[in-house]
Amino acid sequence: LSGEPHYYFIHAYNCIYECQYCYLQGHFNTPDLVLFLNHEDIILEMKEAMNKHDNHVWFHAGEFSDSLALSHLTGELPIYFDFFYQNPKAYLELRTKSANIKELKKLDPSENIIVSFSLSPESIARRIDLKTPGLKARLDSMKELRVMGYELAIHLDPIIYTDTLEEDYRSLFTELKQKDLISSLRYASLGVVRFTKDVHREVERNYPDSMIHTQPMINSFDNKVRYNHALRHWMLNKVKNLALEFGFTESQLYLCMEDDA
């Protein structure tokens, strides 16, 4: 991933899920779900972006809305898949918290199409990832896709402090190992919860009793609101070391939006 250009493309904005830390709370002034239909225009811009670079180019879906949750209704996946089938130097990441893989099962996997699942331990997700499919449903979907030959990745992001952090992530990694998923993952990102100031204000207003607020936060190195450096450093190293213990490799793991923690 390092050194390669990355682009986000917006096929929709706002989401059917209600994750308490979601930055969309401070991004749009409306909760309405907006679905874009001009996929051919988006693909033309992808071609222009790809032609600016000689190396691999990454395109990420799921930044402003879940990339799979409504895919059985919106029907855009075959359009994008055709583009990536024809352009192997371009990579597509579909980032999701959904277990809705109906449309993916109708399509052929490709080495340059990665389905990445955002995961948290079940004990944490059921308290803050509201309205999302449970961990078991997501892992079962991952296993189905792996059998079909899809490239997979995970995002352990955001990591939120709990007094049982090690126990929580040991449980998550145990489930990943039991499903025989770890060795097949293309990459796994680690990131501690962070907010812009506007989003942090909205989270405090919308979810005043959330477990997110159990540790104080500070204005950090990139002007985002985060836990202090010492706590982030401890959390990231704890989760990373657990991941290595369970069979992840160093090359699979990377830190997301962190300094030298």
Beta bridge mates, 63: none
Tell which residue, 42, 17, 45, has the closest CA to residue 31. Answer: 17
pLDDT at 261: 45
Helices (H), the chain: 39-51, 71-74, 77-86, 122-128, 135-148, 165-178, 197-206, 229-245
Residues 106-149 have pLDDT tens digits of 999 999 999 999 999 999 999 999 999 999 999 999 999 999 99
pLDDT at 184 over 50: yes
**pTM, full prediction:** 0.95
Q: What is the pLDDT of residue 97?
A: 97
Give the H/E segment covering residue 249: none
Over residues 21-48, the pLDDT tens digits come to 998 886 776 778 999 999 999 999 999 9
